[in-house]
Structure 1
Amino acid sequence: MNKTKSISVNACRALLALTFIFSGFVKAIDPLGSQYKIAEYLEAVQLSAYVPDWAQLMLAVGLSAVEFTLGVLLLLAIRRRLASKVTLAFMAVMTAVTLWLTVSDPIQDCGCFGDAIRLTNTQTFLKNVVLLSASIVLTRWPLYQVRFISKTNQWIAFYFTIAFILTASLLSLYHLPIFDFRPYHIGQNIKKGMEIPKGAKQTVYKTTFICEKNGVTKEFTEDNYPYDDSTWVFKDTHQEILEQGYEPPIHDFSITDQQTGDDLTDSILTRDGYTFLLIAPVLERADDSNFGEIDAVYEYAKENGYGFYGLTASTDKAVKHWRDITGAEYPFYTTDGTTLKTVIRSNPGLVLLYKGTIINKWSHNDLPQQDELNAPLSLIETGREPEDRTWTKIVLIIVCYVFPLAFLIAADRIWSWTRWVRKREEWLRQKEDWLKQKEQSNRLYQLLKRKRQMRKKIVAGNWKMNETLQEGVALAKEINESLKAEKPNCDVVICTPFIHLASVAQVLDSSLVGLGAENCADKEKGAYTGEVSAAMVKSTGAQYVILGHSERRQYYGETAEILKEKVRLALANGLKVIFCCGETLEEREAEKQNEVVKAELDGSVFNLTAEEWKSIILAYEPIWAIGTGKTATSDQAQEMLAYIRSIVAEKYGKEVAEETSILYGGSCKASNAPELFAKPDIDGGLIGGASLKAADFKGIIDAWKK
């Protein structure tokens, strides 16, 4: 079952990661194209007037960077829980948006893959449903994702990825997109791109004419249009596609002289020789900082007999303003604004044609300089179509991003492996030394064996926040009676909520069952509303108190210093302390369990004197096994308790360590207690849920008789 989950989760993770990386990258390297698409969405919901262009551009760059980075986080399993939740939220929003697009159809192309891949709205919605399902699987079982980088070094990959994708966006914004997926790429003949092959399926349209007569508006088709009735006044028309036919890559390119109404498309595209097109979709917002370089290119074109035309979708007023501020003398013609934005991602940008074929493109930041234009275009590099550098760019991306990331992963894996080897060797060396010492002195071995037999065996119940007062008293009575009938072979302790202590103390036979609290305050007394001091706990008749439980550390922020003070006050009031320690699942997977446990003991109890230590009972509770149904194997538990005993020995000596009772806690049940308690270093259990039923608790206690 776990293997199936692992395969499913990692397959979903790979699908999401690769989709996000590709989608984020193709949009990140075309930030203006992404901005134009965001503008379409804003227009569809009538919000474009409220979001300025610079905010749209920042949103475009930011969303692309987030999508790409999220894909890399999923691919490398970085911050698995957080990345999975963010992915689910992202896909939920995107699926809702594409459902709206599918139903309402306000935009023809959602732009999820930029211009690289175009999907219909229905295809995009179905794609998002699949990705949403994959993100649900990922969120349900995030820890089944296989890590490639240890937690220690994940931040390097994270920040390196953000720096890379933002740099790619800024370079594409300042110059032109790194890869050009649009039909107006270098090498494309615009006229040929508009041709429809012979025999290609034609698109079938339905044209509706709206006319008015005597205040009555009526719609007509081409079949019933009232050609013979001039009293009907034409008002408007609209078309809808009944059957989609072949659509050429370029289908919306036209050049019109607004002054004369003439269509100049053919004359410019079939012009012999070179033609410069200055593309400025919106002249009002065009960058005029390089107008001197534009004028220099125009003068060069005029001197060599090349065409030079400005194309814009702006009004005559905007053209006049441009001429006033730049002194431009070249003619301006009208072309659809969306088409111009597709031709080149720069406002303005320069396109060089040769007999209608796009030879080169330049952003307004990269215009040809005068020293480059020192001869006719046919004789210089500027007039030749540049070599296809697609593979060069791919290799550059691999060298600048993929190789460093791969090197980081390899170095991290080697570092983690050598660290594990060193720790393993150290552990084996310590174990070997201990075994040698054990073998060298049979007398010491016999002493240690007797100490093991003398060590107190304990089963302690931790009721946590369960049972009302009446239920708690009844449960205590039931436990007490069951132990009266059959004497236990170990010490038994029940630790109850504060309100139970005094009442439960009255129904327990203290020779059979000890009583403990689940916590006490780190203050002796005073104005600390809601707190219960160690002295108060002692006054109820309790002899024990649990301190350092992971739930207190996790939910109530108990630190080592706070616990240190609690331990001091508990001991000062004659209470025996059951002190808990243990690691999380992530710490266990990172093989940090030893250092975590040692740090918890160092910070709170290893400051005690040898005399004070006699009142300490340790409880190892792997946090990943508390209340989860998961249990550490008996070998895992033995290994950890042996390690804990070894560090107690380092601090207080072997004899004290052998006299210290160390309990195991974490989904301990009657079924697995005999196997656990049979291990030489496990002296009993700290029992949670199973202590709330007398029969289950008794079953664990009886494990000491097996």
Structure 2
Amino acid sequence: MVRKIAVNVARLVIAMTFILSGFVKAVDPLGTQYKIVDYLKAMQLGTFVPDFLTLTASVLLSAVEFGLGICMLFAIRRRLVSLLALCMMIPMTALTLWLAVANPVTDCGCFGDAVTLTNWQTFTKNVVLLGCVAIVRYRPLDMMRFVSKTNQWIVTNYSMLFIFAVSAWSLYDLPQFDFRPYHVGTNILKGMEIPEGAEMPTFETTYLMEKDGKRQTFDIDHYPDSTWTLIEANTRQLTKGYEPPIHDFYINDIETGEDITMQLLEQKGYLFLLVTPHLGSADDSQFDRINELYEYSRDHGYRFYGLTASDEKAIGQWRDMTGAEYTFCQSDETVLKTIIRSNPGLLLLKDGTIVRKWSHNNLPQLDEEQANKSLEQLDIGHLPKDTTPRKILDIVLWYMLPLFLLTIADRLWAWSKWMKRKEETNKIFKLLRKKKMRKKIVAGNWKMNLNLQDGVALAKELNEALAADKPNCDVIICTPFIHLASVAQVLDANVIGLGAENCADKEKGAYTGEVSAEMVKSTGAQYVILGHSERRQYYSETPEILKEKVQLALKNGLKVIFCIGETLEEREANKQNEVVKAELEGSVFNLSEEEFRNIVIAYEPIWAIGTGKTATAEQAEEIHAYIRSIVAEKYGATVADDTTILYGGSCKASNAPELFAKPDIDGGLIGGASLKCADFKGIIDAWKK
């Protein structure tokens, strides 16, 4: 009990961590891509891996983490999932140890921007997770399932569809959850404030400039004149101190180099900022709509600026390509990527507060009536109504609620199945069900006995005796081939069924001495015995041969009495269960459910056939119950309950009542005792006792 509790607690810790980590990465795949690029740069591999590969890796990483978390939560493919989790955590723990020691990247990004951990905190977290994974991997089957095995595919497929949809939507539009300092509703000025008395960090901004083919770096105090061309600007922190949420945001006038950040943010009213970290890789498919918004802002007196980290050459190319008339300003590339996950993306600020964000795929489109209204009169001029609680509710309704309902329905179904199993283990119920549903059969196997005249005479005698004293079960006699046609003429098919003792494994052809299933059927027989131990032993009939015989018999409309059973050596080695299972799997478990319903199973302990030895009623019931259970595993409980299983092993009138009283014994396949009318009828009459 303690072990199972430990495994399931560890499983839940892993599941919740992986789900959270995978989801926040899927919500912000570009942010995860930027972090992957940081890792590659730290490993000196940044120039070798193209952007599409890092973005693909970002999406796949989030899907793998989320998928493993869901599978761990619902205990799906427990052995495989625990192994995959271990294979993932070992290199991840080693990687975070390197991060903690070398500190090439300040934030591992394992929870995106939702939760920021130091590298040592990340390493500690991974050590704990690795320990949890090791516990789960040691005893994966101790994880309790929340959804049955048959319904697990719904959970995995739905979860993968959901997480890929989240990533796709976040790439097309914007992340549904914005954990960064520049989320909608943030006042940038307040985000930059430093409390009174706080220790101040220091930063240095440098500018790479070019003039007459010569490049030189300047700081803000030595910014050159306008004859120099700005190549790029970089800001780095010199000393640590209190770091406000927004600490590296700036807007520089490209022409003068002047910092106009406060000038723009402190002015009252609306401000459009078109954010394009790299103009060379910016999507230009919506430039017409951008220009329309610029014209709208100009007509209504709103300020509109482009922010970029690109140089003046790239800005000129953008203007030539799009016809842009708005002013461009310089800002830090990393900051711009942090502000909005779109290139380009559009921000609307009012009094320094971010009111709206749009990706280039979802820019607002104003009709003629809206274009004549001010932003105060339009919805886009106000904070959106889709608050974080509303977004969380959407996630619950679209993902968690369906899975919760599936789990409840599945557990109710599992409970009803458990109740049904409990009910069916009740001996009284099983007896009643058996008597109601399954056929009771006593079948005689004459083997190689009786000439034609004696066989016909015995058939007549049996027919008269049973016609006069109706049996409480179905009766079948299986005779040698030579008797079939003649015996069929003297039997009343409503009283006694007729069967053959064998048939060929070939349909027709040059097989001297063989009798096909079609020939057997043509005599008037309805049954055929296949797989008898004597055929297996003396004529080397293999499971493959018997499989062919069964198929041909069923094809020709014969019902099959299929024999299985173990030798004395196998019984003494306690291998009887695996023997009978292998014989069924080898020859009849390939059948469809509809075909299998024409199979009658006859269990014959080989050590009790013709030896005078008989399995005790308890031994016979035990193996019959096992046979029924493996039929249930293959075809379901309903088919198993309907399958007639006969006992064949020195069954006599004296022991038949005790054997037939067992709930899983549905009659007998009788050998020597079927050659005399009185003996055979004594066994048949056991069903009346």
Q: What RMSD in Å do the two structures reach over aligned CA positions?
A: 4.2
Q: CA deviation at 1:577?
A: 7.9
- Which among 618, 630, 641 is matched to residue 623 of structure 2? 641
Cα displacement string for residues 361-415 of structure 1 (whole angstroms, at most 9, x for unaligned residues): 1111111212143311122222112235211111111111111111111222222
Rounded Cα–Cα distance in structure 1 between residues aligned with 2:298 and 2:204: 47
Q: 1:99 to 1:596 in 2, by over 3 A?
A: farther
CA contact (8 A) 2:348 2:357 kept: yes
Rounded Cα–Cα distance in structure 1 between residues aligned with 2:305 and 2:602: 96
- Which among 403, 425, 429 is matched to residue 405 of structure 1? 403
Name the structure 2 match of 1:161: 159
Letter in 1 for 2:352: G
Q: Which residues of 2 match residues 455-474 of structure 1 at below 5 A? A: none
Name the structure 2 match of 1:370: 366
Name the structure 2 match of 1:341: 337
Name the structure 1 match of 2:328: 332
Cα displacement string for residues 205-224 of structure 1 (whole angstroms, at most 9, x for unaligned residues): 999xxxxxxxxxxxxxxxxx
Q: 1:33 to 1:612 in 2, by over 3 A?
A: closer
CA contact (8 A) 2:308 2:328 kept: yes
Q: 1:601 to 1:6 in 2, by over 3 A?
A: farther
Name the structure 1 match of 2:606: 615
Name the structure 2 match of 1:260: 256
Q: 1:559 to 1:346 in 2, by over 3 A?
A: farther
Q: 1:197 to 1:652 in 2, by over 3 A?
A: closer
Letter in 2 for 1:432: L
Name the structure 2 match of 1:432: 431
CA contact (8 A) 1:42 1:48 kept: yes
Partner of 2:177: helix, strand, or coil? coil
Name the structure 1 match of 2:244: 248
1:361 pairs with 2:357: yes
1:269 pairs with 2:268: no
Higher mean displacement: 164-173 or 336-345: 164-173
Q: CA deviation at 1:658?
A: 6.7
1:193 pairs with 2:164: no
Q: CA deviation at 1:303?
A: 1.0
Name the structure 1 match of 2:32: 34
Q: CA deviation at 1:272?
A: 2.3
Please identify the structure whose Cα radius of gyration is greater: 2
Letter in 2 for 1:158: T
Q: 1:110 to 1:561 in 2, by over 3 A?
A: farther
Letter in 1 for 2:72: L
Q: Which residues of 2 match residues 224-239 of structure 1 at below 5 A? A: none
Partner of 1:653: helix, strand, or coil? strand
Aligned residues: 482
Letter in 1 for 2:253: D
Partner of 1:333: helix, strand, or coil? strand
Higher mean displacement: 55-64 or 646-655: 646-655
Rounded Cα–Cα distance in structure 1 between residues aligned with 2:382 and 2:319: 30
- Which among 4, 13, 16 is matched to residue 2 of structure 2? 4
CA contact (8 A) 1:577 1:615 kept: no
Q: 1:379 to 1:601 in 2, by over 3 A?
A: same
Cα displacement string for residues 48-73 of structure 1 (whole angstroms, at most 9, x for unaligned residues): 22222122111111110111111111
Partner of 2:336: helix, strand, or coil? helix
CA contact (8 A) 1:561 1:603 kept: no
Q: CA deviation at 1:657?
A: 8.8
1:301 pairs with 2:297: yes
Q: Which residues of 2 match residues 621-700 of structure 1 at below 5 A? A: 641=623, 643-644=625-626, 653-654=646-647, 656=649
Q: CA deviation at 1:643?
A: 0.6
Identity %: 47
Name the structure 1 match of 2:614: none
CA contact (8 A) 1:29 1:172 kept: yes
Cα displacement string for residues 513-552 of structure 1 (whole angstroms, at most 9, x for unaligned residues): xxxxxxxxxxxxxxxxxxxxxxxxxxxxx99x9x99xxxx
Rounded Cα–Cα distance in structure 2 between residues aligned with 1:265 and 1:10: 53
- TM-score for both structures, normalised by structure 1: 0.61
Name the structure 1 match of 2:285: 289
Segments of structure 2 that go 5 or more residues without pairing to the other structure are 206-233, 437-441, 443-536, 552-562, 610-617, 629-639, 653-661, 665-689
Letter in 2 for 1:125: F
Name the structure 2 match of 1:65: 63
Q: CA deviation at 1:426?
A: 3.9
CA contact (8 A) 2:547 2:588 kept: no
Letter in 2 for 1:151: K
Cα displacement string for residues 13-50 of structure 1 (whole angstroms, at most 9, x for unaligned residues): 01010111111111101111111111111111122222
Q: 1:435 to 1:153 in 2, by over 3 A?
A: closer
Q: 1:561 to 1:83 in 2, by over 3 A?
A: farther
CA contact (8 A) 2:78 2:143 kept: yes
Segments of structure 1 that go 5 or more residues without pairing to the other structure are 208-236, 438-443, 445-541, 549-557, 566-570, 584-593, 619-635, 660-678, 682-706
- Which among 123, 136, 140 is matched to residue 134 of structure 2? 136
1:152 pairs with 2:140: no
Partner of 1:404: helix, strand, or coil? helix
Partner of 1:253: helix, strand, or coil? coil
Q: CA deviation at 1:267?
A: 1.2
Q: 1:608 to 1:380 in 2, by over 3 A?
A: closer
Q: Which residues of 2 match residues 207-218 of structure 1 at below 5 A? A: none
Partner of 1:361: helix, strand, or coil? strand
Q: Which residues of 2 match residues 578-617 of structure 1 at below 5 A? A: 578=570, 580=575, 602-603=588-589, 613=604, 615=606
Q: CA deviation at 1:296?
A: 0.3
Q: 1:602 to 1:293 in 2, by over 3 A?
A: same
Rounded Cα–Cα distance in structure 1 between residues aligned with 2:179 and 2:605: 76
Rounded Cα–Cα distance in structure 2 between residues aligned with 1:291 and 1:345: 18
Letter in 2 for 1:325: M
Letter in 2 for 1:643: A
CA contact (8 A) 1:21 1:69 kept: yes
Q: 1:611 to 1:72 in 2, by over 3 A?
A: closer
